[in-house]
């Protein structure tokens, strides 16, 4: 065996607590890692003691280890991802690896500490003794760095496991949550704004498999507006790998609302049509919930009474993971997951078409239904549903329209 090799370590989060279901969760995480790995190179992937190991098996895969690390960080279920050096389990080899590779890893840091974990109790040194030896080696080969056990800038980890020792520093955060696909199916109302992609991410992080529906109003909204939404879906695929976007036209409905209903009710009525169409699609796709990006009080249509007017139609749960968040908090998440810059591109969605000057914020349900009855609601839902187009979006490869 060679003295050292570089591997990726992926640390479990709450999956550890899943008891009898843990094996199913682990299987999902490993499957998703292997699907991603096949696109990057040739890797051996296995798990032991609440850690998944990704080992490159050829030179090309070693060269692309940074790409594989990025992929691992986007698999839900892992809270930490590190590039580590694996070596033989003896202190002389460990010190040799530390002296050769830690100076580059610790460049620019002023303070550090060493944390050692001895899972193999047969190893002849205790964890504090290992940390002392490794810390001394670092001080001897890294100029200008000091030990700070209370508030270090970086932590060097030494893990003595069953077959090998692992040395790593600067663990990066993983996606967290629980594995994608372990909590049922949900239909995300995906607009081109900031909120809905964040809502989708948050539910995917809790294991919900996403289908998406997007409502367009061509020619009042442009082809670029739809492309923007598909780009947001593509970014979500960094976490989900694949998602289907069902595009439905609301143009005729909006024009008839404009011509036949009181302006103050336009937004509420439009949302009821959107909910009716979403419910039909959700049932067709066997989704167990609808997901929206609404935040209480953010706009006129998101007051308690306005939300009730829409909720009243639903026969499955409506999840609103952003309901108690303010805009700044939502933007922070959107920046973290990479959707913000796309969301703020100046291509408007259907909700900006025929926007009332003074929308109802405290609507009465009976008044909304009276307005709704001015048109043949069911017939318009049927006609709009017949416009549905399905676009499959994948992390790897081009978008594809489904027949």
Indicate if the alpha-carbon torsion angle 72, 74, 80, 82 is positive or negative: positive
Q: What stretches of 1-119 adopt beta strand conformation (E)?
A: 4-12, 43-48, 51-56, 78-87, 111-118
Q: Are residues 312 and 386 in the same domain?
A: yes
Confidence of residue 350 (pLDDT cuts 50, 70, 90): low
Q: Are residues 292 and 196 in the same domain?
A: yes
Please check the confidence at residue 250 and state whether its pLDDT lies above 80.
yes
Q: Are residues 165 and 59 in the same domain?
A: yes
Mean pLDDT of all residues in 223-242: 96
SS3 192: coil
**Cβ–Cβ under 8 Å, residues 390 and 402:** yes
- Among 151, 173, 195, the domain-final residue is 173
pLDDT of residue 205: 98
Confidence of residue 157 (pLDDT cuts 50, 70, 90): very high
Give a yes or no: residue 179 inside a domain.
no
Closest CA to 190 of 199, 181, 182: 199
Quote the domain boundaries for residue 45: 4-173
pLDDT of residue 4: 54
**Which CATH number fits the domain that encloses residue 194?**
3.40.50.620
Q: Are residues 45 and 162 in the same domain?
A: yes
**Cβ–Cβ under 8 Å, residues 40 and 61:** yes
**Which CATH number fits the domain that encloses residue 43?**
3.30.2130.30
Each residue of 33-46: pLDDT tens digit? Answer: 999 999 999 999 99
- Among 113, 146, 173, the domain-final residue is 173
Q: Are residues 163 and 203 in the same domain?
A: no
Give a yes or no: residue 178 inside a domain.
no
The residues, any chain, with a CB within 8 Å of residue 36's CB and separated by 6 or more, are 68, 71, 72, 75, 241
Strand partners, 382: none
Token pair 């303010």 in the structure block, residue? 326
Give a yes or no: residue 252 inside a domain.
yes
Q: Are residues 162 and 222 in the same domain?
A: no
Q: Are residues 59 and 141 in the same domain?
A: yes
Q: What stretches of 90-216 adopt beta strand conformation (E)?
A: 111-118, 146-147, 154-160, 165-169, 172-173, 185-189, 209-216
- Could you give the number of structural domains in the chain? 2
């Amino acid at each position: 065996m060679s003295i050292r090799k570089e591997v990726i370590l992926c640390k479990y989060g709450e999956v550890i607590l899943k008891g009898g279901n843990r094996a199913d969760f682990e299987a999902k995480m490993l499957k998703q890692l292997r699907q991603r790995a096949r696109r990057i190179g040739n890797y051996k992937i296995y798990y032991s003691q609440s850690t998944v190991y990704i080992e490159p098996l050829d030179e090309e895969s070693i060269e692309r280890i940074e790409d594989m690390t990025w992929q691992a960080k986007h698999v839900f279920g892992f809270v930490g991802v590190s590039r580590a050096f694996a070596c033989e389990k003896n202190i002389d080899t460990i010190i040799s690896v530390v002296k050769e590779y830690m100076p580059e890893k610790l460049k620019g840091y002023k303070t550090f500490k060493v944390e050692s974990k001895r899972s193999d109790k047969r190893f002849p040194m205790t964890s504090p003794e290992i940390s002392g030896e490794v810390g001394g080696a670092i001080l001897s080969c890294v100029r200008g760095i000091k030990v700070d056990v209370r508030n270090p800038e970086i932590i060097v980890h030494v893990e003595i496991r069953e077959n090998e020792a692992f040395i790593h520093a600067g663990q990066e955060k993983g996606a967290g949550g629980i594995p994608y696909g372990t909590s049922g199916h949900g239909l995300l109302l995906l607009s081109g704004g900031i909120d809905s992609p964040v809502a989708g991410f948050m539910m995917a992080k809790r294991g919900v498999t996403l289908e998406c529906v997007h409502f367009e109003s061509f020619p009042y909204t442009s082809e670029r507006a739809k492309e923007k939404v598909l780009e947001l879906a593509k970014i979500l695929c960094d976490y989900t790998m694949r998602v289907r976007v069902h595009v439905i036209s609301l143009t005729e409905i909006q024009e008839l609302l404009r011509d036949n209903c009181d302006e103050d009710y336009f937004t509420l009525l439009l949302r009821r049509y959107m909910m009716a169409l979403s419910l039909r699609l959700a049932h067709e796709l066997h989704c167990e919930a609808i997901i929206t990006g609404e935040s209480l009080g953010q706009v006129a249509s998101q007051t308690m009474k306005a939300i009730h007017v829409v909720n009243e139609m639903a026969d499955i749960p409506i999840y609103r993971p952003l309901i108690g968040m303010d805009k700044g908090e939502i933007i922070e998440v959107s920046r973290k997951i990479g959707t913000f810059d796309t969301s703020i591109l100046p291509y408007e969605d259907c909700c900006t078409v025929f926007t009332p000057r003074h929308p109802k914020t405290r609507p009465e349900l009976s008044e909304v239904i009276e307005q709704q009855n001015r048109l043949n609601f069911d017939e318009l839902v049927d006609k709009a549903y017949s416009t549905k187009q399905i676009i499959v979006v994948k992390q790897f490869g081009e978008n594809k329209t489904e027949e």
